Each structure stands twice: as C-alpha cells, then as structure tokens.
Homo-oligomer: A and B are copies of this chain.
C-alpha cells in the first residue's frame, strides 16, 4: 500500500529507471531514477502533455531549447514544463542518485 520513493534503487543502473506510480485517464505519475544519465545527444523531449517535475533527491540540469536556458535543480526543486516546450536532461549528478517525480497531465 505504501511505496517509498527514496528507496528500492537497484545497485546497478545501466539506464535510467522509470516506474509508473499512477496511471489515470488524464494524469500519469512517474518516479525516475538517474545516476549520471542525461538525454542522448541532440535529443529533445517534445511532449503532448504538460509536465510538473520535482527533484526528490540528487542534482540535475535541464536545458530548454527556445532560450537555451540551463536550469539547475536540487532536492525539493519543482517546475512546470508546458506542452511542446522542448527540453532535455543535460546532466545528472554521477556521484548520487537523482530521484525525480514527474506528473504528466493534459
């Protein structure tokens, strides 16, 4: 019944780990764990849905295409990314797990 989002991270993490916590008709909540992972070169997320994202632990940098703005995120930081706002994960801390909570909604 209770899921702890700070635990249950595999010892080896060759790729980002994504788990769906809630899958509703209009909302999807995911936990994503990164360990030094970043988006592939020249890859941009371009999403139909809006996304509200929160860093629960770790450190990350998002890059937004339109204004080339680099946004630094640490524990507790949240922001909303509008639909079709192209962005990428430029960097996550290789020294610790970065745990994201992402809420996608239409």
Query: Which A residues have a C-beta under 8 Å from some C-beta of B?
Result: 1-7, 21-22, 24-27, 29, 50, 52, 54, 56, 71, 73, 75-80, 101, 103, 105-106
Contacts and interface: CB of A to CB of B under 8 A. Distances in A.
A106 B24 CA distance: 8
A23 to B, nearest CB: 11
A75 B6 contact: yes
A79 B7 CA distance: 15
A6 B3 CA distance: 20
A26 B25 contact: yes
B103 A2 contact: no
Given A4-B76, A6-B76, A21-B78, 10 more contacts: A2-B71, A3-B78, A5-B78, A6-B75, A22-B52, A26-B106, A27-B27, A27-B105, A29-B52, A29-B103
A22 B80 CA distance: 8
B79 A1 contact: yes
B2 A77 contact: yes
